[in-house]
Amino acid sequence: MQIVPVPERVRAFEFDPAMPSGAVPIFGEYLDRIGRSTANQRLVGLPFVFLGVTQFFTGTGIALPVSIVALFGVFELFWIYRGRAWVPETRLKRVPFRPVDITADGLVAVGRTVGVRLPDGRWLRIRLTEAYRLLLAGHRRVWLLGSGPKVFVGFPGVVRVRRARIHDAPPAGAVAVAPTAWSGSPRLDPVLAAHRRRLARELWEAAAFLLALAGFATWVRLDFPADDRLTGFAVSTATGFAVVALAGAIAVLTRSVGYLRPQPAEHWTELRAVLDGPVRMSAHGSARVSGLTMLADGRVVPFRLRDVDASMAANVATTGRLWIAGVPRPGRAATGVPGYPVLGTVRLG
């Protein structure tokens, strides 16, 4: 059955202000996993930075130490930034979210910076991607976690939170944001299209890192001292790294092309979903969900979502709905939530 949803009809995950944030289903476990993952990644990168520094004094050339320090330095900075921007402090797990409804003139933006007027007259400032700016323009609600000038912000239908600051005035030069035009078609959904472009850019960033790795590996291969007893091993290892990194970059760029194309489906199909167990979260915050659903012809089939974004799993688990882009058939199908930056791939049958 084809369904063209309207915003009021599409149920989505929301933070519960009646309980501590750490007890919110799925979000609490997600927070624990990404907190541990972020801390572990920082610990992994730091020894390699020190190793690179020591290589300046071992006579192995300049390329090897520079490559190690540069690559793992960027790796370390990325995880420090991610932990600061996306992972709330442990003490905030005991604090509930505070819902804030955005008034008609309470949402402004200039570039990527968005301002939200709070009930006390102050302004929340946060930098957001296009998909999240469109999300707020359409749904006009946020959840705040924490107090003081620095808080974390939750969004409708999304598990991930972001750090923001509270100011006395809106961003300079900001203008009011008009409501987003709604579309019940996956192909024409502005939030979904912006989210797909963002996923493509993230893949480009990953490809750029892999290309840099391939370039540094090639430099090490050419720069390593010829009379060193480890020359043969170093050259072989560097060559292997360069080939693997280059192949990985090509694979990632190829995958990004799919996100640049619009979702071809013209409509969403809403299916009821009954889970056969709890949501299973990986160490890095991705999720697995499985259960049963019924197709339009009355057949009851199993469904499986593997290694999907935690927001996708949270929406299925909390609403009991599985939205399929197009006509659901046994096999792989695109899934998401109409009007939200949530995507995934589900296997039916």
Task: Encode pLDDT of 295-330 as tens digits.
Answer: 878 889 999 999 999 999 999 999 999 999 999 988
Classify residue 74: in a domain, yes or no. yes
Tell me, yes or no, whether 348 lies in a domain: no
Domain final residue, candidates 260, 289, 307: 260
How far from each other are the two terminal CA atoms of the chain, in whole angstroms?
18
Between the alpha carbon of residue 148 and those of residues 21, 87, 167, the distances in Å are: 17, 17, 10
In the block, which residue shows the tokens 């989505």? Answer: 12
Same domain, yes or no: 154 and 204: no
- Identify whether 181 is part of a domain: no
Domain end position, chosen among 214, 244, 260: 260
Task: Name 334's bridge partners.
Answer: 345
Measured distance CA(315)–CA(137) in Å, rounded:
20
Q: Which of 4-8, 106-110, 262-266 has the highest mean pLDDT?
A: 106-110
pLDDT of residue 94: 94
Q: What's residue 230's pLDDT?
A: 59
The pLDDT tens digits for 47-72 are 888 888 888 887 767 888 888 898 88
CA distance 196 to 202: 10
Residues 6 or more apart whose CB falls under 8 angstroms from that of 29 comprise 279, 281
* C-beta separation of 249 from 214 below 8 A: yes
- Boundary (domain end) residue, out of 92, 123, 147: 92
Residues 6+ apart with CB under 8 A from 185: 4, 265, 266, 267, 268
Is 284 within a domain?
Answer: no
Task: Give counts: helices (H), strands (E), the chain.
Answer: 6, 15
Q: How far apart are CA 7 and CA 11, in angstroms?
A: 8
Sequential DSSP letters for 156-208: TT----EEEEEESSPPTT-EEPPPPPP-S-TTT-HHHHHHHHHHHHHHHHHHH
CA distance 196 to 135: 14
Cα torsion 190, 6, 324, 340: sign: positive
pLDDT tens digits, 147-184:
889 999 999 999 999 999 999 999 999 999 988 777 77
What pLDDT, on a 0 to 100 scale, did the predictor assign at position 249? 95
Does residue 44 lie in a domain region?
A: yes
Residue 10, in any domain of the structure: no
Same domain, 137 and 81: no
Alpha carbons 245 and 212: distance in angstroms, whole number: 9
What pLDDT does 226 receive?
Answer: 62
Residues 34 and 70 grouped into a single domain = yes
Asked if 214 and 247 sit in the same domain, the reply is yes
**Does 114 share its domain with 164?**
yes
Cα-Cα-Cα-Cα dihedral sign, residues 56, 61, 67, 70: positive
% residues pLDDT > 90 (the chain)? 62
38: nearest Cα among 73, 88, 99: 88
156 lies in the same domain as 219 = no
Tally of domains within the chain: 3
If asked whether residues 84 and 102 sit together in one domain, one would say no
Residue 315 lies in a domain: no
| 78 and 132, same domain (yes or no) | no
Is 7 domain-assigned? no
Residue written as token pair 């990953």 = 206
What is residue 93's DSSP assignment?
G
**Same domain, yes or no: 52 and 85:** yes
How confident is the model at residue 212, as a pLDDT? 92
My answer on whether 136 and 206 are in the same domain is: no
Instruction: Please state, in angstroms and rounded to a whole number, the distance separating the CA atoms of residues 66 and 61.
Output: 9
Q: Where are the beta strands (DSSP E) in the chain?
A: 98-101, 107-110, 113-117, 123-127, 141-145, 150-154, 162-167, 175-176, 268-275, 280-281, 287-294, 300-308, 321-325, 331-336, 343-348
Domain coverage including residue 122: 95-176
Same domain membership, residue 246 and residue 217: yes
Each residue's pLDDT tens digit, 192-235: 999 999 999 999 999 999 999 999 888 888 877 666 555 677 77
